[in-house]
Structures are given as structure tokens and as C-alpha cells.
A and B are shown apart, each in its own frame.
Chain A
Amino acid sequence: MEDIRDSLTRKSKKAKLEQIGKGISFLCISFIVLVVIAIFYFVASKGLATFFKDGASVSDFLFGTKWNPSSVSEKGTPLIGALPMITGSFVVTFLSALIATPFAIGAAVFMTEISPKLGTKILQPVIELLVGIPSVVYGFIGLSIIVPAVRSVFGGSGFGILAGTFVLFVMILPTVTSMTVDALKAVPRYYREASLALGATRWQTIYKVVLRAAIPGILTSVVFGMARAFGEALAIQMVIGNAALMPHNLTTPASTLTSVLTMGIGNTIMGTLENNVLWSLALLLLLMSLLFNIVIRMIGKKGAMKA
């Protein structure tokens, strides 16, 4: 009797196995969450040290235009103006998104509406390949084709925002295109049928019905591409010229947050202001990627409500 009760009340071997399995899988997922928290904690603590420990002012950092962290201004405050890099990052991001968006939408419309056959046979693999090309290769191509081309057309060194924009354009084009394709494919078939039945031409259907219905999805893909452009480091660092000056035109050397980070972090000593302020740049980058995430979520929610 005792035996039977025991075997009934005790956990079976299988139940234990089940528990262990569930535990292991939960451990794996918590590891990922922990990593995210750790990244934010460590980058934030390093990045904020500039302001709390070294006493630099936030407005100097965000709006100052002179970047030379190892020296001080006449007033005795360190020269940590990050505005040139912030401007550089934003300008290349917006310009590349501006050029890439029409191309991406055009390609996506072509793949879903005009010629799905050619689309899946040719354009789809082409876009997958473009995604796969490593960013250093894009940088190298930019360095050996785009920079000399810009130099011969506009003069100067060729390094600068324009070269960076072209490189980023090619880099984000596949991402934006493939996400736009998904957005267009999600538009129900009967929308198109209704429009065509009313006597609209294919282009009218695309322009007045399909594209408008897919606006939230298209916006998401553009923001996604911008997030990618904003965080891209090496390709842009290779072609932008790396001069921490306020960009006055598109063909003089400039810099971005990522390019200054990749150049600087190895040449400064941990714990010094020169180093901490670089971590502040990294923190800024982190916050921007968070912001892009939030924007994508907001678009998603708004788009979902309409449908």
C-alpha cells in the first residue's frame, strides 16, 4: 500500500525530465535577456561617467561643435562637442534612406505586382546576395570605386558624406526591399481585384490602392533600413574621411558616431575622459537604436489598428 501511494505521489522520471528540460530552455532564454540588460547597464555606466564622474556638461557634448577630448577650451571645459558626428550620422542615414526608398519600393512593386516570375527568379536571389555581402567588402568597393568617382566629379579628396551615402544606399537597399515586398504581399488580393474591376489600370491600382494599404509596412521597412544605416560602422568609416568637423558640404571629409568609435576606442586609455566620452557616443548609438525600435513598434500598432 505504502509503495503504491509513494509511486503515485512522487514525481515520475518523465515528469522530472520534463522539468529539467523546461528549466534548461528557460535558462537559455534568460541568458539572452540578461545579455541585453548587461549591455545596457555597462554601456550606460561607462557612457554616463563622462557627465557624472568627469563633470562634463551634457549640452557641451550634444551641441558642442569642437571635438578634441584630450584638450580643453579657454573656459577650461573639455572639448567634447559631438555635434559633428551626430550630424554626420543623421545626414548619411537620411540621405541614404531617401535614395534607397524609391528604389526599394520600385523593386518591391516590380516583384509583387508587375512580374512575379522575373521577381522570384532574378530579383529575389539578387537581393539575397546583396544582403550577404559583408560590410567591409562594401567599404572596400566604396574606397576603390565611389571615392575616386566622387573625387573626379566634385574635386577634393572624394571622402565624405556623399561617398558614405552611396555605400549605405547599396547596403540598406536589400533590407528595405525585402521588407517592402513582405508588406506588399500582405495586402489582400481582393483589394487589387476590386480596383481592377472598377476599371483602374495596373498602375492606378498599385499607386492608389496597394501602396496606400501597405504604408505602415513600408514605413517600418524604411525605419529598419535607417536603423541599419545608423549603426553601420566599418563601411562608412572607410569612405567618410574621419574628420571630426561640422560637415559643410557633402564632399568634404566628415565623421559619424560609429566611425569615431571604431577609430578611437583602441587609442585611448580606459577610465580617462577621452575614453569615457567615446562610451558616451556608444550610449548615444544604443539609445538611437532603441528609438528606432520604438518607432517601428508604434508604426506597427497604428497600422494594425487600421486594418
Chain B
Amino acid sequence: MNAKKVDKFATGVLYGIASIIVLILASLLAFILIRGIPHISWHFLTSPSKTFEAGGGIGIQLFNSFYLLFITMVISIPISLGAGIYLSEYAKKNWVTGIIRTSIEILSSLPSVVVGLFGFLIFVLQAGLGFSIISGALALTFFNLPLLTRNVEESLRAVHFTQREAGLALGLSRWETVIKVVVPEALPGILTGVILGAGRIFGEAAALIYTAGQSAPALDFTNWNPLSISSPLNIFRQAETLAVHIWKVNSEGNMPDGAAVSAGASAVLILAVLLFNFLARFIGKRIHKKMTSA
């Protein structure tokens, strides 16, 4: 009788904990969206930010975030693909592989601020790239590589070994089998991982403060020459991203409508991350359906 009462009580407590967590998320989202969404307008999303006066937007920061994300992915996807292929297809079980796995684990657990400082030291100062998109993208690559590599490896491993045997039996080399049989089969998993990684990169700020810089110089959106300093495509210009902008507005506080701007920018950031999450599920399922039904 007593044990049953305890059981009921404990179940009740567990229900309570679960609902508290749901409540926390609900109130976080409600807070951000209710405070932020009224502030989002076409003007807010497209106009440049202003210091010391109200009415600024986040146009340049928004563009910078997407552009930086794109450059980072261009660098990190091929590398993580190669690394993932090596780990799943070629790596033998020996001490070299052990060291490789340990380094990936260490890299993935490094605080992002340390990765950012390393990028600051190497790219911004020693390589002379200054605060620039390329410095930021390289720092974010380091931040992104371990997770992406692990994701590629797991997706490749999930491919059934008969697929590999079929490829090899047709006389393909191992490399050809991997590229032409295994990777296409693993594509939904890889893509899901890439999109989730994109969400993580999109919101990252600590690694960017000292690599991509904290100011967003005016851009001329009619100038598409990648070498011109005012061109949005130039990868050697400073580029404050949306996440860095939120941090800066809040820690410097010289914007009269700072709270509203950060609420709006946070809402945009969260909506973007939600979108990435949704896309990851949707695209993964879609591709999987397409490939398995064919």
C-alpha cells in the first residue's frame, strides 16, 4: 500500500518536472516572439542598423549571417565529407585512428570562445586577414567540423554492407563505391546533419566577435564585384552577424531602442533556427522517400 502511494507520488512529480520544462520553453518562445514579432517589418529586415538613434534595422547583419553561413559550409562540407569517408571506410582499428577520434572529440568540446580566440590569433593577426568574413568562416569551420564529420561518418556507417559489396562486385574500386554508391545512399542523413549544423552556426556569436568583427560597414547591394570593399560579396570585409549584433546592442547599450531591436533580432534568429530544424526533418524525410520508393 505504501509503495503504491510512493509510486503515485513519484509519477506525479515526474509529470510536474516534464510540464515545467515544456513551460520553460513555451514561455521563452512566447517572450521572444511576442516581444519580437511586432517589431519585425520589411523596413526592419532590410535597413542598416543605427547607433545612438532609434529606428535602425538589421538588414546588413541578416545578409552577413547568411553569407557567412554559406562560406563556412562551402569550406567545411568537403573537408568533413572526406574526413567522414576516411573514418567510416578506411580507418583501421589502431592507435592512429584512436588519436584521430580523440582529437575530434576534443575539438567538439572546446569552448567556442577559445576557437574564436585561436581564429583571432591565426587569421586576423598572423595571416593578416583582419576582421573579415573569411576569418570568421574559418573559425566557424573549426567549430563545425567535428560535428559534421561525426554526422557524415554515422550516416555512411548506417548504409548496409551489401550495398558496398554490390559495388565492389561490379568491379568498382573502393573509392568509386563510396562516392557513387554509399554517399548517395547516405545523403539524407548527411543533409539533415548539415542543416542542423547550419542552425548552430547561424546563432553562434562567441567565435565570431574577434574574427568576423563587430561592425557592419554599409554595403552597396548594386555592386556585385567581389573585390570591391563595399560589395556584399567581398569576403575580406568586416561582417557583424545577427547574433553578434544582439550581443553588442545589449552589452554596449548605446542604442535607444536597443531592447526592441534585440527582441526583433532574437525573434528573427529563433525563427531562422526553427526553420532550419523544420527543413532538416522535412528534407531528410523527403529525400529518403524519393530514394527508397524508386
Contacts and interface: CB of A to CB of B under 8 A. Distances in A.
A279 B146 CA distance: 24
A141 B11 CA distance: 31
A279 B113 CA distance: 12
A187 interface: no
Please classify how large the interface on chain A is, using the bins under 10, 10 to 19, 20 to 34, 35 or more.
35 or more
A75 interface: no
A134 B173 contact: no
B90 A203 contact: no
A173 interface: yes
Interface in A110-162: 110-111, 114-115, 118-119, 122-123, 126-130, 132-137, 139-141, 143-145
Interface stretch (B47-55, B97-105, B220-228, B284-292): B97-105
B121 interface: yes
Interface string B94-123: 000001100111110111111101101110
Nearest to B11: A114
B29 to A, nearest CB: 8
B93 interface: no
Nearest to B201: A134
A29 B86 contact: yes
Which DSSP category, helix, strand, loop or mixed, fits chain B's interface? helix
Nearest to A111: B18
Contact of A24 (B4, B15, B82, B251): B82
Contacts of B176: 14, 17-18, 21
Contact of A134 (B4, B122, B269): B269
B145 interface: yes
Contacts of B244: 136
A215 interface: no
B106 A26 contact: no
B205 A136 contact: yes
Interface residues of B, number: 90
B31 A135 contact: no
A21 to B, nearest CB: 3
- With most chain B CB atoms within 10 A of its CB, the pick from A102, A200, A201, A232 is A201
B113 A25 contact: no
A206 to B, nearest CB: 8
Interface string B2-19: 011011001101110110
A258 B111 contact: yes
Interface stretch (B37-45, B158-166, B185-193, B270-278): B270-278
Contact of A203 (B7, B122, B259): B7
A213 interface: no
A43 B118 contact: yes
B182 interface: no
Given A114-B11, A140-B250, A233-B206, A29 B100 contact: yes
Contact of A292 (B21, B85, B109, B269): B109
A132 B199 contact: yes
B271 to A, nearest CB: 11
A52 interface: no
Interface in B201-245: 202-206, 209-210, 214, 243-244
A102 B18 CA distance: 11
B175 A285 contact: no
Interface string A218-258: 00000000010011111001100000000000000000001
Given A136-B246, A266-B210, 6 more contacts: A28-B80, A103-B17, A130-B28, A134-B205, A141-B28, A234-B209
